[in-house]
Amino acid sequence: MRNLIKNLFVAAILFIGGAAVAAVEPGKDYKLLNPPQPTNTKKIEVLEFFFYGCSHCYHLHPQLSAWEKTMPKDVELVYVPVIFRDSWEPMARTFYALESLGQQHQLHDALYKAWNVDNDVLGDEAKVLDFLAPRGVDRAKFSAAYNSFSMQSKITRAKQMIRSYGITGTPTLVVDGKYLITGVQPAEYIRILNEVIDMVRKGRSPATTKGKAKQ
């Protein structure tokens, strides 16, 4: 009996200690954006600023993809391709073109693999087309989307967001327009992300939460 009580006591201490370790801290696990940025959804918005050629993004990708499949219903994940230099713009255009064609999700993995495993540098439209066409993408439709008038506004918007959110590296996650997570190990991104989402949810008023639950 004494051993049982002792074991339960030790387990309780470990549980409490683990919970303390898991608690996120500003300045350590995340940064506060100043000023906060507006969100485009009534849900808890999660932005991932990424680049297909970024090895850190590639290592985070499987865990973030798995998380996306089971993420809470009151959360929305949005991908934002980063353009730190002109040579990165073709991949941003590729992302948005595939998104407009409804093929972005099914080719997300393949594009990461091309850059990070096969060392296939997709640096211009022609190379991208040669890569995507065998994978079921219509050349004419893709090219039209890639060079469309609306594409330029998407590229301009992405560049504006990079400046507004103070993005200096990839991958970077931003939650609810306020909390920036970057520079940690893949598993830590997910742990911190879950904790911050929970923090945001608890910080919202009951009336707001009820209104979102009905949607």
**Higher per-residue confidence, 78 vs 15:** 78
Under 8 Å between Cβ of 181 and 115 = no
pLDDT reported for residue 22 = 55
pLDDT band at 101 (very low <50, low <70, confident <90, very high): very high
pLDDT confidence of 174, banded at 50, 70, 90?
very high
Strand partners, 46: 77, 175
User: What is d(CA 125, CA 67) in angstroms, rounded to the nearest whole number?
Assistant: 31
Residue 94 parent element (H or E) = helix 89-101
Scanning 102-204, the segments in alpha helix (DSSP H) are 104-116, 125-132, 139-146, 149-164, 186-203
Q: Say yes or no to pLDDT of 126 above 70.
A: yes
Q: Which of residues 67 and 211 earns the better pLDDT score?
A: 67
Pick from 131, 135, 132, 108: nearest CA to 52: 108
The string of pLDDT tens digits covering residues 1-31 is 554 444 444 344 434 444 444 588 888 999 9
Task: Answer whether 121's CB lies under 8 Å from 107's CB.
Answer: no
What pLDDT was estimated at residue 188? 97
Considering the chain, what is the average pLDDT of its residues? 89
Listed by start position, the domains of the chain span: 26-213
Largest Cα separation within the chain, whole Å, is 75
Predicted local distance difference test score (pLDDT) of residue 186: 95
For residues 24 and 63, the model is more confident at 63
pLDDT band at 97 (very low <50, low <70, confident <90, very high): very high
Choice between 16 and 42, residue whose per-residue pLDDT is larger:
42
* Record: fold of 26-213: Glutaredoxin (3.40.30)
Query: Which residues are 30's β-sheet partners?
Result: 26
Residue in this structure with the two tokens 């990424």, named with its chain if needed:
50
The pLDDT value given to residue 79 = 98
Distance CA 77, CA 66 (A): 12
Q: Give the span between the Cα atoms of 138 and 198, in whole angstroms.
A: 42
User: According to the model, what pLDDT value does residue 205 have?
Assistant: 58
Range with the poorest average pLDDT among 4-8, 34-38, 87-91, 150-154: 4-8
Q: Is 45 exposed, middle or buried (0-12, 13-18, 19+ CB in 10 A)?
A: buried
Dist. CA 211–CA 206, nearest whole Å: 9
Phi first, then psi, for residue 108 (nearest 5°) are: -55, -50
pTM of the model: 0.84
Cα 140 from chain centroid (whole Å)? 29
Per-residue DSSP letter, 145? H
| More confident: 31 or 210 | 31
Cβ-in-10-Å burial (0-12, 13-18, 19+) of 117 comes to: exposed
Please give the Cα distance from 133 to 130 (Å, whole number): 6
